[in-house]
Amino acid sequence: MTKYFFLLIFTVISQSYAQVRDSVRTDTARAAGTNAVIGQPDTTRPKQTPPAVPYWTYSLGIDGMFNSGNVNRRLLTVRGTVSHETPNSIWGFFSSPRFQYGTNNEILQERELFVDFNNTWFKARHDVYGLFFGAYEQSNLRQINHRLNVGVGAGWQIVGGRRVPSSRFQLSLSNALLREFTDFISIPDRDVYRLSTRLKVRYEIVKEKLTFQNTTFYQPALDQRNLRWNTISQLVFKLSKQLSLTATLDQSYESVNVQGVRSNQLNATLGLSYAGSR
């Protein structure tokens, strides 16, 4: 009998302690301004919003060279990039406009304008994607009033594509059929079809600090003897999160030119670039 009496007392005390403990927890939750229920998840706490993914990225760079003395040479280049891509969209956009102005002994040499509009399809979902693009050019150096080309093709993200976007080495290849119209100043205009092959390479030599990148175009004409190619190589050293020091080597070749204009052109410049996203 005594054994059962002590068991009853122990049970009553345990239940009373549990009720007091739950009452204290409830009062504490109410004092904190919540309506939490003991034993159930608190649904009144604000949900944490995941960090926003930058869908728009952009950069602006200024580089050039300056010589003074027997040869007074000034060359200024302004480069920019704008891109848009979302993980769930089938459409993406990229543009890399640039403007170049140069004089030699106070005589105008370069006044070059290039604006391109590249549209990609399914690039965010597949490593093989569709490509549609257009570009507009003006060139005082090559004596071109206007040049317009449009094209359609396909691209392949060979290394560092959708599956491994953080790869330090990235390689992509695209091929397209384009139509090009050139209004020269002093020779007959040219209207040609070209096969345009583009190779892009990017290698992060020192992670988040030093990067090498190159874009090369090889564009032979399909209906006449007319070849164009262009390559731009850059070494980018990050000074801060958004500011970088850039060394650029830009080389181009055109087999058809106005008389007195050389086919090959090479420029080496040094400058700064600013990059951001939103």
**H-run or E-run covering 9:** helix 2-31
pLDDT of residue 46: 53
CA–CA gap between residue 226 and residue 257 (Å, rounded): 10
- Comparing 89 with 264, the larger pLDDT belongs to 264
Q: Which DSSP letter does residue 225 get?
A: S
CB count within 10 Å of CB 5 equals 9
Q: What percent of the chain has pLDDT over 70?
A: 81
Residue 44 pLDDT level (bands cut at 50, 70, 90): low
- The DSSP line for 66-79 is EE-SSS-EEEEEEE
Average pLDDT score over residue span 28-42: 47
CA–CA gap between residue 260 and residue 258 (Å, rounded): 6
94-108 per-position pLDDT tens digit: 999 999 999 998 899
Residue 223 pLDDT level (bands cut at 50, 70, 90): confident
Mean pLDDT of the chain: 84
pLDDT of residue 7: 45
Residue 232 has pLDDT above 60, yes or no: yes
- The mean-pLDDT minimum among 158-172, 185-199, 227-241 falls in 158-172
CA–CA gap between residue 170 and residue 127 (Å, rounded): 12
The tally of CA atoms less than 13 A away on the side-chain side of residue 268 is 1
Q: What percent of the chain has pLDDT over 90?
A: 64
Contacts of 51 (CB under 8 A, 6+ apart): none
C-alpha dist (Å) from residue 26 to 21, 41, 42, 72: 9, 13, 12, 82
pLDDT of residue 221: 96
121-163 per-position pLDDT tens digit: 999 889 999 999 999 999 999 999 999 999 999 999 999 887 7
Residue 117 tokens read as: 């509009």
Q: Which domains does the chain have, with CATH numbers?
A: 56-277 (2.40.160.40)
Average pLDDT score over residue span 155-173: 90
Residue 71 pLDDT level (bands cut at 50, 70, 90): confident
